[in-house]
């Protein structure tokens, strides 16, 4: 689904090609150390750079979801996000959709309802906070519905699937119906690469990514520098090899229908999208 649209703040935003979502981490402990932004100025500069490099969306988080990550109290998450959201908005204006990576309804209500964010990106798919779906319905904002089991601290002990792809699709379908019953209209689905999946299960989902088209929603793929790459290559998340492999997997995801690439390295992902679109256009013109 390369062509899709979202309504943010009552405004229709149309995407005629796959879009790159740049990751902004207002955290001291994200798994990829180079993505950690310690100050308001660093967040602003990173947002500006990502937009110049081709980001069509930004995703801002203040709670690390790496495996085994420590809990962050709600008040600390709110404190980190308030200054960061305002810094991003000041740096890049209102035209770039800004997503908030949180599983807490209170944080979503503040960030979208008061501080100027546009989208809620919930790694728990509404399971960590029973009030999240109602909050998103109240906000009338787009919602990224991701699959995960357990919490960041426990998820890698919860990887028992019969058929990982079909079970994740079924889970997302069930949650989609619950959101639709609350009149949440703009929903993006995310299979949750790396979240309660083994390395082999991640690659199985990627190979079968077309099955997620059954859900009829834009598909987000987030594999940037994750352990599904570093474990296979035996490298560090900050290495050039991890970036090269991320780019390769992003192209495979695009070929299998991904609409959004969530990445740390916007320039490389934007180049991948450009090459993919060029190929698709050439194929189309050949057949017309």
Query: Of 98, 83, 84, which is closest to residue 22 (Cα–Cα)?
Result: 98
Q: What is the DSSP string of 175-206?
A: HHHHHHHTT---EEEE--TTSS--HHHHHHHH
State how far the Cα of 63 lies from the Cα of 78, in Å rounded to an integer.
Answer: 10
- From the list 80, 217, 225, 226, the catalytic residue is 226
State how far the Cα of 93 lies from the Cα of 184, in Å rounded to an integer.
Answer: 26
Query: Of 188, 180, 264, 193, which is closest to residue 222 (Cα–Cα)?
Result: 193
State how far the Cα of 88 lies from the Cα of 40, in Å rounded to an integer.
Answer: 9
Place of tokens 């069509």: 56
* 114 CA to centre of own chain: 22
**Residue 197 annotated to the active site:** no
β-bridge partners, 57: 21
**Residue 226 annotated to the active site:** yes
Name the region of 116 (left: φ>0; alpha: ψ -120 to 50; beta: rest): left
Query: Are residues 251 and 263 in contact, defined by beta-carbon separation less than 8 angstroms?
Result: no
Q: Which residues participate in catalysis according to the annotation?
A: 226, 262
């Amino acid at each position: 689904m390369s062509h899709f649209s979202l309504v943010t703040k009552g405004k229709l935003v149309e995407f005629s090609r796959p879009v790159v979502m740049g990751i902004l981490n207002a955290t001291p402990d994200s798994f990829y150390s180079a993505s950690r932004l310690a100050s308001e100025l660093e967040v602003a500069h990173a947002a500006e750079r990502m937009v110049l490099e081709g980001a069509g969306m930004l995703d801002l988080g203040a709670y690390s979801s790496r495996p085994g990550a420590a809990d962050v109290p709600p008040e600390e998450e709110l404190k980190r996000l308030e200054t960061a959201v305002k810094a991003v908005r000041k740096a890049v204006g209102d035209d770039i959709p800004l997503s908030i990576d949180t599983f807490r309804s209170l944080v979503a209500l503040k960030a979208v309802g008061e501080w100027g964010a546009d989208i809620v990106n919930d790694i728990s798919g509404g399971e960590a906070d029973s009030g999240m779906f109602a909050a998103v319905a109240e906000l009338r904002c787009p919602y990224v519905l991701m699959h995960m089991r357990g919490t960041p601290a426990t998820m890698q002990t919860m990887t028992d699937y019969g058929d990982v792809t079909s079970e994740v699709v079924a889970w997302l379908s069930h949650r989609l119906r619950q959101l639709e019953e609350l009149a949440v209209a703009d929903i993006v689905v995310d299979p949750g690469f790396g979240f309660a999946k083994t390395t082999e299960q991640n690659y199985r989902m990627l190979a079968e990514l077309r099955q997620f088209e059954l859900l009829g929603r834009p598909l987000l793929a987030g594999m940037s520098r994750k352990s599904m790459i570093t474990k296979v290559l035996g490298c560090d998340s900050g290495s050039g090899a991890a970036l090269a492999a991320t780019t390769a997997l992003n192209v495979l995801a695009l070929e299998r229908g991904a609409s959004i690439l969530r990445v740390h390295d916007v320039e490389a992902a934007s180049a991948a999208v450009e090459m993919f679109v060029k190929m698709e256009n050439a194929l189309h013109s050949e057949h017309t």
